Amino acid sequence: KAGVTQTPRYLIKTRGQQVTLSCSPISGHRSVSWYQQTPGQGLQFLFEYFSETQRNKGNFPGRFSGRQFSNSRSEMNVSTLELGDSALYLCASSLVSRAKTQYFGPGTRLLVL
Amino acid sequence: AQTVTQSQPEMSVQEAETVTLSCTYDTSESNYYLFWYKQPPSRQMILVIRQEAYKQQNATENRFSVNFQKAAKSFSLKISDSQLGDTAMYFCAFMLAGGSEKLVFGKGTKLTVNP
């Protein structure tokens, strides 16, 4: 099976712009979670989607949003980018079973100038 | 809220030796899952091992094993016969059982395996 894929892998934006990141889960996985990784804050949970519904949301401002499509692919959007949004954004998918195991994609590295 | 603490920011070990990474967590819940993930320089997050809190038996995966002490809320990772490819950041993570799948991560331990 192909793993979790994320596009683009690298992105450079300027302050005030918006950005959309995409995540394709492992085939058959219906839960997709997003995490932000920065040197200062470490790994922080952004949100989780299951069956096109947001099930949980982390403590991030409303500029961060996401959605999930019927094929389980997910996108996250960050509007009005700030310098502090520079980070590695990781997507993870899981089968949603008792196993509760998330498998991660390679990440999208976002640099905001 | 659940928290995960990794008290060793950096560790090093000689190739072929054994090393133990520490992790403690705080929760008032009784049903949960614990994980160790590895993040090499490529930044790809890789699952190392998983433990279900209701299982008393410690999980093992080849050279990797855990010491799960539920009462002490401790979840350490032992790496035996360390290899150069084990050099990476290691993150301990917690997930509540139930609907949502949200991982709470520790700050990580940077492990260097020396030849």
Per-residue pLDDT tens over the stretch A6-42: 999 999 999 999 999 999 999 999 999 999 999 999 9
Cα separation of the two ends of chain A:
37
B76 near B21, Cβ under 8 Å? yes
A49 near A94, Cβ under 8 Å? no
B50 near B35, Cβ under 8 Å? yes
- Out of B95, B97, B100, the one facing A55 most closely (by C-beta) is B100
Chain Cα centroid distance, residue B103 = 13
Chain B neighbors of A99, CB-CB under 8 A: 50
Closest chain A residue by Cα to residue B40: A106
Q: Which of B36, B100, B109 to mutate to test the interface with A (most CBs of A within 10 A)?
A: B100
Closest chain A residue by Cα to residue B96: A100
- pLDDT tens per residue across span B80-96: 999 999 999 999 999 99
Q: Which of B100, B101, B110 to mutate to test the interface with A (most CBs of A within 10 A)?
A: B101
Closest chain B residue by Cα to residue A32: B101
**How far is it, in rounded angstroms, from Cα B107 to Cα B115?**
26
Chain B contact present for A90, CB below 8 A: yes
Q: How far is B85 from chain A (nearest CA, A)?
A: 18
Chain B contact present for A24, CB below 8 A: no
Weakest mean pLDDT among A56-60, B2-6, B98-102: B98-102
B47 near B108, Cβ under 8 Å? no
Which of residues 26 through 65 in chain A touch B, CB cutoff 8 A?
31, 33, 35, 42-43, 45, 48, 50, 55-56, 58
The amino acid occupying position B78 is K
- pLDDT tens per residue across span A49-74: 999 999 999 999 999 999 999 999 99
**What is the structure's pLDDT at B36?**
98
Lookup: tokens for B74? 């401790």
**Going along chain B, which residue ranges are E strands?**
3-5, 10-14, 19-21, 24-26, 32-39, 46-52, 60-61, 64-69, 74-79, 88-96, 104-105, 109-114
